Structure 1
Amino acid sequence: MDSKQLVDLVAKACDDKRAEGIVVLDMKEVSLMADYFIICDASNERQVQAIAREVKDVAEEQNIDVKRMEGFDQARWVLVDLGYVVCHVFHRDERVYYNLEKLWGDAPQREVKL
């Protein structure tokens, strides 16, 4: 599975758990960390955890190695590292505060296929 297919898979997993404001940033030209960032949010901690868990489960079903998941217990900003794709699941308040879309403003946004 290439990174574009993985982006679509992860974005769909986020959408299936009712993530809000799903944005995909193409990071290939601006960062060495990952090819894509997927950013989304939820209104409460339980939903943040449900989204992150779904991303992890869907990736593992496709035999994609989840490198790490950070922030799950606090559920304010959960980072799911899938190698070439990194999914950021925010609590709505934290997303506004950190504003990754502005921080990585040089990265073009990619259309999300759900």
Structure 2
Amino acid sequence: MNSKELVLLAANACDDKKAENIVVLDMQQVSLIADYFLICHGNSERQVQSISREIKNQAEEKGIEVKRMEGFDQGRWVLVDLDDIVCHVFHREEREYYNLERLWGDAPEVPVQNEWMAGMKEQQ
């Protein structure tokens, strides 16, 4: 599975758990950290944990190793490291505070909540 397919898998996992404002940043020309950052939020600690768990479960179902998952117990900002994809699942308040989209503003946003995700759902 390439990194574009993996970020779509993660975005769909977020969508399945009703994550809000799913944003994917293309980091390939901006940083060596990852190919893509996925950023989304939930409205409670429990929802943040549910979204993070779903990303992990769907990745593992496809044989993708989750390198690490940090912040799960607190449910305020969970980082799910899928190697080439780093998923940031925030509680709404933390997302507004840290504003990663502004911090990485030079990374182009990949449109995932329209045709791109619709195409992925059709493949499943």
Task: State the TM bucket, normalised to the shorter chain.
Answer: over 0.9
Where structure 2 has 5 or more consecutive residues not aligned to the other structure, the ranges are 118-124
Amino acid at match of 1:59: A
- 1:83-114 CA distance string (max 9 Å, x none): 00010000000000000000000000001033
Normalising by structure 2, we get a TM-score of 0.91
Q: Percent identity?
A: 69
Question: What is residue 40 of structure 2 aligned with on the other side?
Answer: 40
Question: What is residue 16 of structure 2 aligned with on the other side?
Answer: 16
Amino acid at match of 1:44: S
Question: What is residue 52 of structure 2 aligned with on the other side?
Answer: 52
Question: What is residue 92 of structure 2 aligned with on the other side?
Answer: 92
- 1:14-53 CA distance string (max 9 Å, x none): 0000000000000001100000000000100000000000
Number of residue pairs aligned between Structure 1 and Structure 2: 114
Aligned-pair Cα RMSD in Å: 0.5
Q: Which structure features the higher share of helix residues? A: 2
Taking the aligned partners of 1:39 and 1:6, their CA distance within structure 2 comes to 14
Normalising by structure 1, we get a TM-score of 0.99
Name segments (4+ residues, structure 1) moved above 4 Å: none
Amino acid at match of 1:22: I
Taking the aligned partners of 1:8 and 1:86, their CA distance within structure 2 comes to 12
- 1:53-77 CA distance string (max 9 Å, x none): 0000000000001000000000000
Taking the aligned partners of 1:8 and 1:53, their CA distance within structure 2 comes to 16
